[in-house]
Each structure stands twice: as C-alpha cells, then as structure tokens.
C-alpha cells in the first residue's frame, strides 16, 4: 500500500463525502426548519440528473445542463411543497413518510414515462475531462477535484447564507420556534417553500454533478438517500455543520474501509476469504460508525435536540 494510493483514496473519500453533503444539507435543512422527513429527496436528485442530461444533449453544453438541473429541481421542489408537503406539516412523521414515499413512486414512474427505461447519456465536459498530475506524481481526475471544490464552495455559501443574511436569520429562527416567527409577521408559508426549493436545488445539483460520472437512470436517488439519512443522523439532525462533518466521515469511512478491511484481513486469512469477508464488513462500516456515534452522542455530533 503506497502513500500515493493512500492519498488518492483519501481524495476519493473526500469527494464522495462532499457530494453526500449536498444531498444531506437539503435534507437536514428541511427537517430542521419544518420538522419534515422527506423521503422524496432522492427523486429531486434524480430530477436534477435527468434535467441536466436532457438539456446537455439538446444544447451540447454541460454548464447549461447544470443550470437546468438547479432550476428543474428547485421548481419541482417548490411545486411539491405547494401541492403535497404543505398538508403534511401538522401530521406526524408516519404520514409524512407515507406521503413522500408515494412521491418517490410517482416521480420514478413519471420519469420512466417521459424518458424511457434506459439510462441517459451525460458526460463530463471536455475542459474538465481527463486526469491532472498533483504534486507528488499523483494522477487524479480533474472532474473529481472540481467536485470537491464546488462542494466546498456550496458549503461556504450555505454558511454565509445562514449566518449573514436575513433569510438565514429566518431559517435559524424557524428551527428554534416556529410559532414565534409567524407571530413576528414573517410569512412562514413562503419561507417553507423557499427552504424546500433550496434543498431541492442542492439535491438536483448533486444529481447533475454525479450523473456525469455515473449512470443517469430511474431510481438513482434512493441509494444516495439512504446514505444521506445516515449522514444527518451522524451529524445531528437539523445541523448544516453536522451534515458537512458527517458526510465527510461517511465518505472517508466507506472508501477507506473498502480498501483497508480486506487488506487487514489478508494478514491472517487466505486472500479470497479475506476479500469476501472484507467487502461485506466494509459495506457495514458506515452503519457501525452510525451506531457508535449514536451510543456516544444520541443526538448526533452536532445535534441540538436529544
């Protein structure tokens, strides 16, 4: 195991974590402000990827595709909030889970109806394709480096938004006391729609960015959704900072666990057994991490409410 391989894997883990953060940030924001569990967040990720693929195919421009992904997911998010979610705030979590699960089915089959069952094509733009050589002779795909930078920039932007703007003040107030900010004359309904659309746009952005290196297909959002839930549970539900730390922890654990556990087991098992047990253990690693965090800090790393 060379140092170069190790650094490359850390970068991979970081990149994976940053993309998870984009998903988890929206999820945790929506839960924090509105107290809503939104299972359809993965569908918004898928909508972003499909919008990007369709627009990029029609115009030939990946950047236009990204804009379409942000806009498409935000519009879908706002519509869903206005039509369905709005009726769920007063209901308990079970009703919310049921309704948003129905939304997953509707979005998946609707997407299949429009785009068909076969995966769409979305490629990395020309100017970001191929590897670059980092100091120390590490070859790393430029696109993945860009993902890390974009993700960190979004994290910074979110932090500025929440700590320095009027909207941010309202969001923080909404997390603490919903009745009070309504009483202070803030249009809570509009705030909810804006927050929901913002969360949706982040998910759509993640879907489009990741879609370029993965497969743009129906159902692509659900595996990511599960990981995003793990992230916000680890980070503490409702905390953006927790989402960032949790996402990077999960990304690194998943990536490095997949490499080192089989290597570790090879020290005292034969290679093929070590590989199969190691990969099974590695897929459990993030859940073990989650359990450990919950034992030590039941509210998550940065969770306010227990």
Partner 1 sequence: MKFVTLAAAAALALSISGANADPVKVGMITTLSGGGAGLGIDVRDGFMLAVKQAGNEDLEVVIEDDQQKPDIAVQLADKMIQSDKVDVLTGIIWSNLAMAVVPAATAQGKFYLSPNAGPSALAGKGCHPNYFNVAWQNDNLHEAAGAYANFEGLKNSFLLAPNYPAGQDALTGYKRMYQGGLAGEIYTKLGQTDYAAEIAQIRASGADSVYFFLPGGMGISFLKQYKDSGVDLPVIGPAFSFDQGILQAVGDAALGVKNTSQWSKDIDNPVNKAFVESFQAEYGRLPSLYASQGFDTANLLLSAMAKADVKDADAFRAALEEADFKSTRGNFKFGPNHHPIQDIYVREVIKEGDVYTNKIIGKALTSHADAYWSECSM
> Which residues in this chain contact partner 1 in the complex, by CB under 8 A?
2, 4-5, 8-9, 12-13, 15-16, 108-109, 112, 117-121, 123-124, 129-131, 139, 141, 143-144, 210, 212-220, 223, 255, 258-259, 271-272, 275-276, 279-280, 283
Q: To the nearest whole angstrom, how small is the minimum distance from the Cβ of residue 143 to partner 1? A: 6
Q: Which is nearer to partner 1, 109 or 177 (by Cβ)?
A: 109
Check the CA dihedral 61-63-67-73 and report its sign.
positive
Q: Which is nearer to partner 1, 207 or 246 (by Cβ)?
A: 207
- Specify the residue for token string 């595996």: 223
Q: Quick one: 139 exposed, middle or buried, by C-beta within 10 A (0-12, 13-18, 19+)?
A: exposed
Q: Which is nearer to partner 1, 15 or 170 (by Cβ)?
A: 15
Q: Which is nearer to partner 1, 173 or 213 (by Cβ)?
A: 213
Distances (CA, A) of 66 to 30, 142, 153, 204, 295: 23, 17, 16, 9, 40
| 17 vs 12: CA distance, rounded Å | 8
| 150 vs 155: CA distance, rounded Å | 9
Q: To the nearest whole angstrom, how small is the minimum distance from the Cβ of residue 296 to partner 1? A: 27
Backbone angles phi, psi at 3, to 5 degrees: -65, -40
Compute the half-sphere exposure of residue 52: CA atoms within 13 Å on the CB side of its CA.
34
H or E segment at 73? Answer: helix 62-83
Q: Which is nearer to partner 1, 174 or 251 (by Cβ)?
A: 251
Q: To the nearest whole angstrom, how small is the minimum distance from the Cβ of residue 8 to partner 1? A: 4
Q: To the nearest whole angstrom, how small is the minimum distance from the Cβ of residue 256 to partner 1? A: 8
Q: Which is nearer to partner 1, 6 or 292 (by Cβ)?
A: 6
Q: To the nearest whole angstrom, how small is the minimum distance from the Cβ of residue 118 to partner 1? A: 5
Q: Which is nearer to partner 1, 58 or 189 (by Cβ)?
A: 58
Q: To the nearest whole angstrom, how small is the minimum distance from the Cβ of residue 236 to partner 1? A: 25
Distances (CA, A) of 59 to 89, 131, 243: 40, 25, 35
Structure tokens at 266: 């090879």
Q: To the nearest whole angstrom, how small is the minimum distance from the Cβ of residue 170 to partner 1? A: 36
SS3 sequence, 175-226?
Answer: HHCHHHHHHCCCCHHHHHHHHHHHHHHHHHHHHHHHHCCCCECCCCHHHHHH
Q: Which is nearer to partner 1, 15 or 193 (by Cβ)?
A: 15
| 104 vs 110: CA distance, rounded Å | 10
| Entry field: residues in the chain | 306
Q: What is the dihedral of CA 284, 287, 288, 294, to 10 degrees?
A: 180
Q: To the nearest whole angstrom, how small is the minimum distance from the Cβ of residue 189 to partner 1? A: 35
């Amino acid at each position: 195991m060379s140092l170069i391989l190790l650094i490359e894997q850390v970068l991979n883990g970081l990149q994976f974590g940053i993309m998870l953060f984009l998903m988890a940030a929206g999820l945790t924001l929506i839960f924090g402000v509105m107290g809503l569990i939104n299972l359809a967040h993965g569908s918004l990720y898928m909508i972003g990827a499909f919008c990007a693929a369709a627009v990029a195919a029609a115009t030939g421009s990946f950047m236009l595709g990204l804009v379409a992904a942000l806009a498409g997911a935000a519009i879908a998010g706002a519509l869903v909030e206005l039509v369905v979610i709005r009726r769920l705030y007063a209901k308990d979590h079970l009703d919310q889970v049921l309704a948003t699960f129905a939304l997953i089915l509707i979005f998946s089959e609707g997407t299949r109806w429009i785009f068909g069952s076969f995966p769409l094509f979305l490629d990395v733009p020309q100017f970001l394709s191929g590897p670059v050589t980092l100091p120390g002779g590490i070859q790393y795909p430029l696109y993945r480096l860009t993902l890390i930078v974009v993700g960190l920039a979004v994290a910074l932007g979110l932090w500025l938004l929440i700590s320095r703007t009027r909207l941010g003040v309202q969001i923080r107030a909404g997390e603490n006391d919903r009745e009070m900010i309504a009483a202070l004359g803030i249009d809570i309904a509009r705030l909810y729609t804006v927050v929901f659309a913002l969360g949706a746009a982040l998910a759509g952005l993640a879907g489009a960015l990741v879609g370029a290196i993965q497969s743009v297909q129906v159902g692509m959002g659900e595996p990511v959704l599960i990981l995003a839930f793990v992230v916000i549970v680890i980070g503490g539900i409702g905390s953006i900072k927790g989402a960032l730390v949790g996402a990077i922890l999960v990304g690194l654990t998943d990536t490095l666990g997949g490499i080192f556990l089989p290597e570790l087991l090879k020290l005292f098992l034969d290679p093929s057994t070590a590989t199969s047990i190691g990969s099974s253990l590695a897929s459990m690693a993030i859940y073990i991490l989650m359990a450990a965090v919950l034992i030590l800090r039941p509210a998550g790393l940065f969770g306010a409410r227990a």
